[in-house]
Amino acid sequence: MSTATASPTTSAPVSDAVTPDAAAPGRPLPRVAPPIDVYQADGSFVLLADVPGLRAEDLEITCERQVLKLRGNARRSQVAGQLIHQEFGDVCYERTVTFAEPINGEAISATLANGVVRIVVPSHPAAQPRRIPVAGA
Amino acid sequence: MFLTALAPVVRGRSLAERVLHDVWHSPLPACDAGPMAQANLHANENQVTVTVQIPSIDVASLDCSVHGDRLTISGRPVQAQAEGAPATDAKALVWLRRERSQDAFERTFQLPYTVDPDQTAATVHDGILSVTLHRHQADRPRRIVVTAA
Render pLDDT for B62-92 as a digit per residue (tens, 0 to 9).
999 999 999 999 999 987 766 666 655 566 6
- pLDDT for residue A80: 86
Give me the mean pLDDT over the A41-54 stretch: 91
The number of angstroms, rounded, from the C-alpha of A75 to the middle of its chain's C-alpha atoms is 14
More confident residue, B90 or A55: A55
Quote helix, strand, coil % in chain A, to nearest 5. Answer: 5, 45, 50
Sign of torsion over alpha carbons B87, B89, B90, B94: negative
- Interface test with chain B among A18, A51, A104, A114, by most B beta carbons within 10 Å: A114
- pLDDT for residue A73: 95
Give me the mean pLDDT over the A81-87 stretch: 92
The dihedrals phi and psi of B80, each to the nearest 5 degrees, come to -60, -35
User: Could you give the domains of chain B?
Assistant: 1-30 (no CATH), 35-138 (2.60.40.790)
- pTM of this prediction? 0.73
b/e for B136-146, b at 16 or more Cβ within 10 A?
Answer: beeeeeeeeee
What CATH code is assigned to A31-126?
2.60.40.790
Q: Has residue A29 got a pLDDT over 50?
A: yes
SS3 A14: coil
Convert the pLDDT of each residue in B97-148 to its tens digit.
889 988 899 999 999 999 999 999 999 999 999 999 999 988 888 888 999 9
d(CA A136, CA A129): 22
Query: Could you tell me the pLDDT band of residue A82, with boundaries at 50, 70 and 90?
Result: very high
Identity at B13, one-letter amino acid code = R
Q: Has residue A91 got a pLDDT over 90?
A: yes
Predicted complex ipTM exceeds 0.85: no
Question: Which residue, among B72, B64, B126, has the nearest Cα to A90 in the 3D structure?
Answer: B126
- pLDDT for residue B24: 40
| Interface residue A45 vs chain B (CB under 8 A) | yes
Asked if residues B121 and B100 have their Cβ atoms less than 8 Å apart, the reply is no
H or E element, residue B17: helix B13-19
Interface of B with A in 52-111 (CB under 8 A): 53-57, 59, 74, 78, 80, 83-86, 93-101, 103-110
d(CA B26, CA B24): 6
Rounded to the nearest angstrom, the minimum Cα separation between B40 and chain A is 4
Convert the pLDDT of each residue in B13-65 to its tens digit.
434 433 344 444 344 444 444 456 899 999 999 999 999 999 989 999 999 99
- The chain-wide mean pLDDT, for chain A, equals 80
